[in-house]
A and B are shown apart, each in its own frame.
Chain A
Amino acid sequence: MHNSLDPRQRTQSNMAYLRSILRSGKNAVPAVLRREFHRTLQAAMQVTVRDAIKEAMDEELERDERVFLLGEEVALFEGAYKVTRGLWKKYGDKRIIDTPIAEIGFTGIAVGAAMAGLRPVVEYMSFNFSMQSVDHIINSAAKTYYMSGGLQPVSIVFRGPNGAAPGVAAQHAQCFAAWYGHVPGLKVVSPWSAEDAKGLLKSAIRDDNPVVFLENEIMYGVPFEMSEESQSKDFLIPIGKAKIERKGNHVTLVSHSHVVSRCMDAAAVLAKDGIECEVINLRTIRPMDMEAIETSVLKTKHLITVEGGWPQFGVGGEILARIMEGPGFGYLNAPAVRVTGVDIPMPYAKLLEENTLPQIKDIVFSVKKMLNV
């Protein structure tokens, strides 16, 4: 997995590529112009998270014959949330498969196909439905490479919306980041922006291990500016590396998925009071980028984790434990805290729902309380 190059390096590498093509005498110049040059001349554009995910899948389907997609309503219906729009029309029945409503059945089938060398991408209409499939995700996918002493890898991606969405009530709003993050043998990714979604999904599909890819319905329609390099078909974001979305000196906010938006908004509010937050977008839950968090804590001396999931045994709990056990603890000027969802099943009524998930005001309150302002 290579890191994405900076623009100058990219242009240099393109020029080198072009020169090599010309030297070799191949008449690939038009193709190069179409693909590389044209791309690098394109300005940054606005892409929704939904489209970024689709682009990632489209590019990977095109790149590798072994990649195929299965799930409920992914083909004809174009996806329950329209993420797979156009893919079935382009790739057909063999590569884009509509399954009956039989989660553990089709998950088992997908894992089997992965064992035999294919590279399935399994879509869950909601990760809440993946609970039916958990046995195969964990016992058949996550543990197999280990149990076989390195003989049987399972290259598979499980993706779909995770966590809260407005008004969906208790059975459809659970966040599974902590559940899947608990399991050795799985990689667990939780993108926030469109670039995250595209680069990380491509990496996930190319990764030879089982990857749980946690999207979020709230983010699907949100547009982000996609840099030029992120528009390349080889744009990859490494799994396991967090991103600093906003630099600051006073407090570190660590978050993932849609809650990163809240942190950014809270940071803007706090900036007006002269409090500069450093917002870390985890991007990956497992393996977690503790180095990024520790480096930040070294600077800010204050840590707050922010998530939508439940507090007990959550992502924040793990981060705080590792800080305690690691060098970060020595730098803290105040105990690190977690801002989480309330420890209850998700209520339906709007007023109750709003008070169940961390809002901007909750993050602002926690920062100020920690900093004693």
Chain B
Amino acid sequence: MQKMLTIISNVLRGSASRNGAELVSEGARVVVSARTYADFTPQATFDIKKCDLHKLEEGPPLQAVLTREEGLQYYRTMQTMRRMELKADQLYKQKIIRGFCHLYDGQEACAVGIEAGINLSDHLITAYRAHGYTLTRGGTVREIMAELTGRRGGIAKGKGGSMHMYTKHFYGGNGIVGAQVPLGAGVALACKYLGKNELCVCLYGDGAANQGQIFETYNMASLWKLPCIFICENNKYGMGTSVERAAASTDYYKRGDFIPGLRLDGMDVLCVREATKFAAEHCRSGKGPILMELQTYRYHGHSMSDPGVSYRTREEIQEVRSKSDPISMLKDRMLSNNMASVEELKEIDVEVRKEIEDAAQFATTDPEPPLDDLCNHIFYNDHPMEVRGINPWSKLKSVS
């Protein structure tokens, strides 16, 4: 009985919004493509912003189809990412996380949209703002948080820290700005070499975009037609330097010159997904590399030691939060198209919060790595060896 009432009320609500004024948000107009008697709309098609194109005749489609399942999954993942980063902020301020910590909140649509456009069997590499990608590439929140707190249950056994997390087909987490780009092209070379129709997504920021090694990589990737999607996450600031002060040309999607490029809204998960699918198709068809510039924003400063307000205004941060937040954007879309209910999304929020709490609990109680792991993992597939300790009488053991 209760269920029936819910069905009826949802149907009435749905028809009311159809009969009522057109719902316009951020230029997205809605066309309901399927109409059943189920609780919610199973899928909807959304208009998405056109991409700026460089050396491309056509770009990604101007519409994206989102199913209810996909929507809920993207929402859950982005929310998990958001909460995980905020928890890391908290733990850092409590000095439970040390060293460097570069948070990803605000940029969730990039990581989630990209993963939605490729397969887990593809490869991905990024720089140090990597917690989100570690998650989308198969890491668990527990392992990620335990790595941040330096415990044995961490994804790198506590030995890497924030910037050095790895999973299958995810090559980190890299601390040296720009270095991950030639590495990514190398992974793409291996993909082509091994002929498994896989590709590599190679991410870098607007700051890194001025690194020479990136241009060397563009040249070789293009020459050798490597299946590499170069993605510039342009969040407008390279640490404390705004893009205008660092780059003679801020059209990062054109900087690949002979490499075709796209520039798109990195705050819209559907935009990112469609562009990634387009780019993946380009690579897999043997056309060589392609470049994507995602216009996005980070709410936190560069790292936990940067308040993030000496080189940009609080008003700017607030404005992005209120008008372009990726999670809100997806939520509004789903709610206004009856693809989910407020309660359902709230329930996801509660589950996510719990998952983060559990992970944080684990991350703060798991013991640190054992001392006899200190010298392990120097060499791979090698016989055990002796390692010189702090003084000449200290002979430590290393196993592969």
Contact = CB atoms under 8 A, between A and B. Distances in A.
B390 A347 contact: no
Interface in B153-169: 154, 156, 158-164
B238 interface: yes
Contacts of A115: none
B100 A349 contact: no
A64 B318 CA distance: 45
Q: SS class of chain A's interface: helix, strand, loop or mixed? A: loop
Contacts, number: 154
B207 interface: yes
Contacts of A362: 390-391
A28 to B, nearest CB: 41
A236 interface: no
A355 B239 contact: no
B23 interface: no
Interface residues on B, range: 35 or more
B337 to A, nearest CB: 42
Contact of A167 (B161, B178, B393): B161
Most buried by A among B147, B158, B388, B391: B391
A341 interface: yes
Nearest to A129: B176
Nearest to A167: B99
A352 B368 contact: yes
Interface string A272-292: 000000000000000000000
Given A73-B240, A100-B241, A349-B151, A339 B391 contact: yes
The 10 closest A-B pairs by CB, nearest first: A167-B99, A167-B98, A348-B161, A77-B240, A349-B150, A171-B175, A349-B158, A100-B210, A351-B368, A169-B161
Given A102-B210, A128-B175, A337-B392, 5 more contacts: A73-B240, A347-B369, A349-B369, A350-B150, A366-B391
Contact of B176 (A73, A102, A132): A132
Contacts of A355: 371, 374, 390
Contacts of B369: 347, 349, 351-352
Interface in B93-138: 98-100
Given A102-B210, A351-B369, A76 B311 contact: yes
Interface in B346-375: 368-369, 371, 373-375
Contact of B388 (A100, A342, A358, A366): A342
A95 interface: no
Contacts of A105: 212
12 contacts: A73-B241, A98-B245, A100-B238, A101-B207, A337-B391, A342-B375, A349-B368, A350-B98, A350-B368, A352-B150, A369-B391, A369-B393
A358 B393 contact: no
B238 A348 contact: no
A298 interface: no
A341 B387 CA distance: 11
Given A167-B100, A339-B391, A352 B161 contact: no
A187 interface: no
A135 B104 CA distance: 34
Contacts of B345: none
A184 interface: no
B61 interface: no
B164 A171 contact: yes
